Amino acid sequence: MLKRIPLPAQFDRIIIGGGITVGAIGVPLGIVLVTLVAFGVISAPEMVFFVAAIIVILGALGCVLLPNIVHAALSLTATLIGVAALYLLLMSEFLALVQVLVYGGGVVLLLLFGLMMTNAQDDPVVTDGSQKPFAFLLVSLLIGTFITLLLSGDWGNPTAHVVPFELFGERLFREFALPIIIVAVLLDVAITGALVNVHTASNDLPEESE
Amino acid sequence: MPDISVTIGMQQAWLLPAMPVVAFLIISFFRKLLPREGDFLAIIGMLGILLVTLFIIVDFQGFFHDGEFHPGEANVYAFDWVRISADNFLFLIEFSTYIDAISIVMLIAISIVGLMVAIYSTGYMQGEDRYGWYFAVLSLFVAAMLLLVTSGSLVWMYLAWEGVGLASYLLIGHYWERQSAAEAAKKAFITTRVGDVGLLIGIILLWKATGSFDIQTIIAAATSGQIGETYLTVAMLALFAGAVGKSAQFPLHVWLPDAMEGPTPASALIHAATMVVAGVYLIARFSPVYEVVLVARDVILYTGLLTAFLAASMGLVASDIKRVLAFSTISQLGFMFVALGVGAVGAAMFHVLTHAFFKALLFLGSGSVIHATGRQEVEYLGGLRHKQPITAATFIIGSLALAGIPIFAGFWSKDEILHAVSSYASPFVYIVLAGTALLTAIYTTRLVLLTFFGDPRDRSAFDHAHESPSSMTLPLLLLGLLATVSGFFVFDAVGNLFGFSGGIGYLVYLHHPHSFHIDWAFASVATVSSLTGVIIGWVYWHGGAERAIKARTWSPDLHALLVNRYYLDELYQGIINRVVLGLAGIVAWFDKKIVNETGVDGGAQFIGYFGYRLKFLQTGKIPNYALGIAAGILVLSVMVLARA
Amino acid sequence: MIPIEYFLTLGAILFGLGLFGVLSRRSAILILMAVELMLAGVSINFIAFASYLDTDAFSGLIFALFVITVAAAEVGLALGIVLRLFRERRTSNVDEASDMRW
Amino acid sequence: MTENDGYFLIALIVLPLLSAVCLMIIPSKERTLIVGLTAISSLVMFFVSVYVFMAYSFDGSTFQGVKSYPWVENIGLLGENGISLKVGIDGVTASLVLLTGIVVLPGTWVSWKIQHRLKDFFILFYILTAGVYGVFVLLDLFFWFLAYETALLPMYLLIAVWGSTRKEYGAMKLMMMLMAGSIPIFAAIFALFAEVGLGTFDMEVLLSASKDEDFQKIFFPLVVIGCGTLGAMFPFHSWSPDGHAAAPTAVSMVHAGVLMKVGAFGIVRLGAQMMPEGALFWGPALVALGITAALYGAISALRQTDMKMLMGFSSVSHMGYVFVGLGTMNVIGMTGAVLQMTAHGLMTALFFLLIGAMYDQSHNRDLPNFSGLAKQMPIWSVFFVFASLASLGLPGLSGFIAEVHIFIGAFRSYPIVGGLAVLTAAITTTYLMRALAQSFFGEANPKWDSLNEMTWIERSGAAVLVAAILLLGLWPSPWIDRIAPSLSQIPGLMM
């Protein structure tokens, strides 16, 4: 049935590969989490958090490690959707919405367009030594530091609060009216800048394109 | 006369330098507009000086009575030139004039010789380039010289001292188109300047001890024993260094023979009669202090003795008529310093006066010869008495005075010096000095014989020769008269005639007034030695050049030594080339290589090299920079962690 | 209830992974993606603080909103630059765009 | 000097700046207008300088014509009168203001023959002038430093654009050394501000405030090094010969004539007046450095052939006297030092004017290349001989009266140094006389027959300087009467 639909073989592979990955990692994890919830070790919201967190981290790892650029872009989408789920857990539906719309929709789409237009196939071949080991060392130290730092802090025992939609709008458009306008201008400038940047006058095109 | 002397007297001594300064300014700025380029202004200035000098002498007699000199307040004209005052502190440089007998001797010499030279120059310099400029500088020189001998303040005296040096520099270099003249002027200025280092140091040392620049204050303080003897000796020797430079004493005598590159009348005035005796004047001025520091006096004595002998021996072989006279001047200055060295200030000043007349006469005479023949090497002269009778006659008078033949002026003053030496110093000094007098007679005779007698050796020059114009012969005759009679001043009767009871002894030797008298024993010895010299000279040179050449072959080595002036010039040149310029080369090298190229450029290069190595950190790869930023974040967060 | 540390830790890990991506990747577009990860990590922190600690003012939320907006603008502009780079050099490898070196 | 005369002091800063602004408006091709404007403004500056000098009264007050306009106060570290535009002069600056007026006048005149970008030259030149005047009349350390830097910065462009020979090298070296020198000054100024702790940069307050002795001992050397670099003190003199050799005529004149004195003046004002105990402590070191510089510069000059290099080393030597005088810390020596600043300024400005007048025609400054120049350029040679005589300290000219004070001051404390200083004067004679005998006298070299006599403008400029040299040399009391009382107020100064 699937073969009748004229899809590229690559797409096929993604579906199958993704399914196997989700199945191999997601199903045992889900079982473990459900069991933990059932025995009362963790609460239900915590379970949701962990699921989302796993999606986020796996997606992020995929995004930074996968050699295929399209795979990386799709992993990024997974991460962003996971983050949106986390926002819901944090009781901010509006931001979750925005996250999915802007990121999951706009930004990723934009990135994919970029991929297509730059004909970028894979992570380019390293020319003179990778700084990956240094980056790894540095990042591990940094994450370690951050975690030590935040764990050493005394946060009390706060609880999450719902953000009232009306209040949020009130604040956004009254107190933060000026920043909003500035951001609007910024967006405008960014778009104009992007246009100007990408637009090539006929005389400064590279020679091959003539 | 007394009525005028009330209005013009010692109080108006500032007029003396002021008049020639005015002449100098007018001539140097307006000489193109003035008739005869303004030479008459210089002569008018000199006449004015002579007049004022006469008034001052008249005025001066009013302070001279009871065998004592009473300067009083009238003697000093002063205003504050520099004044720094604070609580119980006063630093004062005054302008003041001080006239005493020593100054008056100098004034007489300067005013008379200056006038003669100025008149003579109108003939001698006729038609030359920079005719007016010559007279301007001559006026400048006279102004500085008068300021030098009338100043009561050491700083102003130093100012004038350097001023005469400047005028001398300008006049020696008057024919600067000749490289030799330019070099001679440079040599004269630098050599005297070396001596002036000592003079300035001496002045400052004296100021440090007494807090004053006023000469009389300093003398009073020094003679009263306020200053330590060693300190005073050093200061007085430093002063003497200035005198050595200016008066061309050994070892700084080398500039004077070269100074003959200047116009001959200028040589007569500056390098014979006046400027070179400034050193004698300085030591005489401080003679009361030298009475206290006998070591310094001995230094003066032996310097003078050595100089007198060396210069006389060099004069024996010099071929240039002016150089012979220059060596003679150095030698005679040595005589004066010997006199100062034995404390015979009166004898020294007397010799200054007579020497001024007869040496100026000789120089002007030689100028007349050079003017007529265009040659100045005695080997090429000869027989000129036929062509230039007046010049020859006056020149012979001057030579007789120089040789110390009785009646003529030089005899009396030289005899005084010999007499003083015999009673104050060891017989050795007396013998050397008498020997030098003998040498003097020999070279003087040689000069006269080779120039005016025998056969002419350069026919064209001889044919060309003629007697000089009256503007030149008149001063010669006048000076000839003075060279003959000025010695009689030594007699009490003559002194009394001029209003100085007791003759020149009273005039210049204030502290122990004693009358000059002739000790006939000494006088006859001196006469015999002079006459012997003349006879020896006659025997050798009366026939003309052949014998002269024979004389040269008598001892070639000695001749070469003397002609080369004991190789002192070469020695100095060697020292300057090797030591001074070598040191300068080392310092210049040090500055170029060590300070500049190593220190400054090297520092810059080190930083440049450091930057060159450092620039490779700028890989241009954005991830590398991002890694750096991230590392920075890590460091910052670790710092936050460490705080928390 | 979920403790705030959970969110903060996740935010830190996400930020770190993003940073790792920025530092190790060569393709300009992948670097951009990694930057998005870092921004997401930061946004999680903001929102966690806002909903846990700043219950009255929830400034963090507004900040997160701005972050998202600016990120969108940034991606647009950055892609423009990448495109430009690609046109000039036929590559989007940032290592090869190293004209600004010594 | 009445209080209203303070407006003249402000005018001294404003006039050159105003001229610079006017010049910016004038189109470059209007040469006549530029020349006219600079002629007027330089004359006005000259007369204002003369007026300021004359109006200085001997009523015993330290600073006269004081005018103060607060700018920033009572903010942060700043207290009452924190930073104010304050002007005023004492006897030292009165004579230095006069010097600036005298040097800038002929400096402007001789620059008129510049063909390349005349307008821009004058704009920079007048900004520099404003800086120099500012250093002398400003009484607020903050603005003082601003003026100090303003006086330095245009120098780079002036040399690099209008200079000759190795101009880029000379300009860069000069600029970098002087800028490096201003760092310790900067540090010392703020240290002084902090040490006094009254939150003000007002010099009068800082002068009278008490400062810790150790503080003074630490920061006095910083001031000496910083200001000494600008004053070409050994071993920081290296920019001087190269910089002077490269600079155009007017810039050499103003630089050697005035700007080097800014350095020495900095030592007087920031050093001796602000930190007298430090100056007393370090005085012997300053004297040692000064006499080393004097001898070193003079001996080096013996081997120089480029006229401007010769003058550069000569300046090092003469500035060495200034440091000797300052280091003696007695009123005669210090008065001599300030006199020497003026004397050397006039004399060296004259030298550079003359060398410029010749170099513009011959494009050669090597002494051995010349011979008998007096034949081809008689008036020029007379001026040159005069300048040489002033330089070697001939009595009756400006150099002597300054040097004799320094010698006396040195002899009072350090007789050996005094002797060496007198000896240096003889060495100075030697190198100048050698140059004169070699290049100015002797047979004229026909190669240079094409050289013309100085123009009338140059002659007038030289005449102004000659007149000033003679005036100072023959009648120094107007200067000394102003300088000495101001200096004698320094506490601890030996009389």
The residue count of chain A comes to 210
Task: Flag whether pLDDT at C52 surpasses 80.
Answer: yes
Residue D485's pLDDT band (cuts 50, 70, 90): confident
Q: What is the model's pLDDT at position D406?
A: 92
Mark out chain A residues that contact chain B at CB-CB < 8 A. Answer: 131, 134-135, 138-139, 141-142, 145-146, 148-149, 152-153
Residue A46's pLDDT band (cuts 50, 70, 90): confident
Tokens (6 digits) for B126: 């006729």
Task: Flag whether pLDDT at D162 surpasses 70.
Answer: yes
**A149–B640 C-beta distance less than 8 A:** yes
Task: Flag whether pLDDT at B446 surpasses 80.
Answer: yes
Task: Flag whether pLDDT at A8 surpasses 70.
Answer: no
Asked if B31 and B132 count as a contact pair (C-beta separation under 8 A), the reply is: yes
Q: Name the residue in chain B with its Cα closest to that of A150.
A: B641
Burial class (CB in 10 A: 0-12, 13-18, 19+), B251: middle
- 3-class secondary structure for chain C? CCCHHHHHHHHHHHHHHHHHHHHHCCEHHHHHHHHHHHHHHHHHHHHHHHHHCCCCCCHHHHHHHHHHHHHHHHHHHHHHHHHHHHHHHCCCEHHHCCCCCC
Residue A210's pLDDT band (cuts 50, 70, 90): very low
Q: What is the model's pLDDT at position D96?
A: 93
Compute the Cα dihedral for A102, A105, A111, A117 and give only its sign: negative
Tokens (6 digits) for B249: 């004493």
Asked if D61 and D3 count as a contact pair (C-beta separation under 8 A), the reply is: no
Q: What is the model's pLDDT at position B79?
A: 85
Tokens (6 digits) for B130: 């920079």
**Does A touch D (3+ CB pairs < 8 Å)?**
no
C26 vs B contacts (CB less than 8 Å): 623
Treating both helix axes as pointing N-terminal to C-terminal, what angle do A44-65 and C4-24 enclose, rounded to 10 degrees? 10
| CA nearest neighbour of B446 among B586, B253, B317 | B317
**One domain, residues B309 and B416:** yes
- In a mutational test of the C interface, the residue from B622, B624, B633 whose CB has the highest number of chain C CBs within 10 Å is B622
Q: Which of B300-314, C47-61, D147-161, D304-318 comes out lowest in average pLDDT? A: C47-61
Q: What is the model's pLDDT at position B282?
A: 92
Task: Flag whether pLDDT at B295 surpasses 70.
Answer: yes
**One domain, residues B463 and B588:** no
| CA nearest neighbour of D235 among B591, B607, B585 | B591
Q: How far is A4 from chain C (nearest CA, A)?
A: 34
Q: Name the residue in chain A with its Cα closest to that of C37.
A: A60
**One domain, residues B531 and B608:** no
The reply to whether B619 touches chain C by the CB within 8 Å rule is yes
Residue D466's pLDDT band (cuts 50, 70, 90): very high
* ipTM of the complex, rounded to two decimals: 0.74
Q: What is the model's pLDDT at position B499?
A: 59
Nearest to B166 among D389, D411, D419 (CB): D389
Question: How far apart are alpha carbons D238 and B600 in whole angstroms?
Answer: 7
The reply to whether B7 touches chain C by the CB within 8 Å rule is no
C94 vs B contacts (CB less than 8 Å): 621-623
β pairing state of B68-69 and B77-86? unpaired
β pairing state of B77-86 and B64-65? unpaired
Task: Flag whether pLDDT at A202 surpasses 60.
Answer: no
Average pLDDT of the segment spanning D65-89? 86
**One domain, residues B489 and B612:** no
**A114–C82 C-beta distance less than 8 A:** yes
Q: Does residue B47 belong to any structural domain of this protein?
A: no
Q: Which residue has the higher pLDDT, D219 or A129?
A: D219
Express each pLDDT in B527-541 by its tens digit: 888 888 888 888 777
**Does A touch C (3+ CB pairs < 8 Å)?**
yes
Express each pLDDT in D9-31 by its tens digit: 999 999 999 999 999 998 888 88
The reply to whether C54 touches chain A by the CB within 8 Å rule is no
User: What percent of chain A clears pLDDT 70, i.e. is strictly above it?
Assistant: 83
**Does C touch B (3+ CB pairs < 8 Å)?**
yes
B621 vs C contacts (CB less than 8 Å): 94-95, 98, 101
Q: How far is B156 from chain D (nearest CA, A)?
A: 9
**One domain, residues B491 and B614:** no
Block residue for tokens 């300064």: B21
Q: What is the model's pLDDT at position D21?
A: 93
Q: How far is A3 from chain C (nearest CA, A)?
A: 32
Nearest to D238 among B179, B181, B595 (CB): B595
The reply to whether D235 touches chain B by the CB within 8 Å rule is yes
Nearest to B176 among D239, D412, D441 (CB): D441
Express each pLDDT in B563-576 by its tens digit: 788 888 888 888 88
Task: Flag whether pLDDT at D144 surpasses 90.
Answer: yes
Residue D35's pLDDT band (cuts 50, 70, 90): very high
Q: Phi then psi for D306, rounded to 5 degrees? A: -70, 130
Q: Which domain holds residue B401?
A: 302-337+350-563
Q: What is the model's pLDDT at position A10?
A: 62
Q: What is the model's pLDDT at position B510?
A: 45
- In a mutational test of the B interface, the residue from D244, D315, D411, D471 whose CB has the highest number of chain B CBs within 10 Å is D411
Provide the domain count of chain B.
Answer: 2
Domain stop point among B541, B563, B585 = B563
**One domain, residues B592 and B527:** no
Task: Flag whether pLDDT at B86 surpasses 70.
Answer: yes
- 3-class secondary structure for D180-221? HHHHHHHHHHHHHHHHHCCCCCEHHHHHHCCCCHHHHHHHHH
Block residue for tokens 């297509």: A116
The reply to whether B623 touches chain C by the CB within 8 Å rule is yes
Tokens (6 digits) for D319: 């500035």
Q: What is the model's pLDDT at position A90?
A: 85
- Per-residue buried b or exposed e for C45-83, using 16+ beta carbons within 10 Å of the residue's own CB: bbbbbbbbeeeeebebbbbbbbbbbebbbbbbbbbbbbb
Express each pLDDT in B220-240 by its tens digit: 888 888 888 889 999 999 999
Domain stop point among B511, B534, B563 = B563
Query: Touching A: which chains, 3+ CB pairs < 8 A?
Result: B, C
When the pLDDT of each residue in chain A is averaged and rounded to a whole number, the result is 80
Q: How far is C56 from chain B (nearest CA, A)?
A: 27
Q: Phi then psi for A122, rounded to 5 degrees? A: -130, 170
Average pLDDT of the segment spanning D142-162? 91
Q: Phi then psi for B435, rounded to 5 degrees? A: -60, -40
DSSP D84-145: EEEEEE-HHHHHHHHHHHHHHHHHHHHHTT--SSHHHHHHHHHHHHHHHHHHHHB-BHHHHH
Compute the Cα dihedral for A83, A88, A92, A96 and give only its sign: positive
Tokens (6 digits) for B596: 């500049």
Q: How far is A1 from chain C (nearest CA, A)?
A: 35
Q: What is the model's pLDDT at position B70?
A: 62
Q: Which residue has the higher pLDDT, A84 or A162?
A: A84
The reply to whether D183 touches chain B by the CB within 8 Å rule is no
Nearest to A114 among C9, C36, C79 (CB): C79
The reply to whether D55 touches chain B by the CB within 8 Å rule is no
Q: How far is A199 from chain B (nearest CA, A)?
A: 24
Q: What is the model's pLDDT at position B104?
A: 83
Residue A119's pLDDT band (cuts 50, 70, 90): low
**One domain, residues B480 and B600:** no
Q: Kind and range of the H or E element at B93?
A: strand B89-97
Query: Touching B: which chains, 3+ CB pairs < 8 A?
Result: A, C, D
Task: Flag whether pLDDT at B497 surpasses 50.
Answer: yes
Task: Flag whether pLDDT at A125 surpasses 70.
Answer: no
B624 vs A contacts (CB less than 8 Å): 131
In three-state secondary structure terms, B77 is strand
Asked if B197 and D426 count as a contact pair (C-beta separation under 8 A), the reply is: yes
CA atoms within 13 A on the CB side of A198: 16
Express each pLDDT in C55-87 by its tens digit: 777 788 888 888 888 888 888 888 888 888 888
Q: What is the model's pLDDT at position B632?
A: 92
The reply to whether B88 touches chain C by the CB within 8 Å rule is no
The reply to whether B204 touches chain D by the CB within 8 Å rule is yes
Q: How far is D426 from chain B (nearest CA, A)?
A: 6
Asked if B342 and B421 count as a contact pair (C-beta separation under 8 A), the reply is: yes
Average pLDDT of the segment spanning A57-80? 86
Task: Flag whether pLDDT at D101 surpasses 90.
Answer: yes
Task: Flag whether pLDDT at B511 surpasses 50.
Answer: no
Task: Flag whether pLDDT at B5 surpasses 50.
Answer: no
The reply to whether D484 touches chain B by the CB within 8 Å rule is yes
Average pLDDT of the segment spanning B619-633? 86
Task: Flag whether pLDDT at D43 surpasses 90.
Answer: yes
Helices (H), B374-426: 389-403, 409-424
Residue A209's pLDDT band (cuts 50, 70, 90): very low
When the pLDDT of each residue in chain B is averaged and rounded to a whole number, the result is 83
Q: Does residue B582 belong to any structural domain of this protein?
A: yes
Task: Flag whether pLDDT at B11 surpasses 80.
Answer: no
Q: What is the model's pLDDT at position B72?
A: 56
Express each pLDDT in D308-350 by its tens digit: 888 888 999 999 999 999 988 888 899 999 999 999 999 999 9
Express each pLDDT in B48-82 by its tens digit: 888 888 888 777 777 666 656 665 555 677 888 88
Average pLDDT of the segment spanning A151-176? 82
**A107–C72 C-beta distance less than 8 A:** yes
Mark out chain C residues that contact chain B at CB-CB < 8 A. Answer: 19, 22-26, 31, 94-95, 97-102
| CA nearest neighbour of D216 among D140, D135, D288, D273 | D273
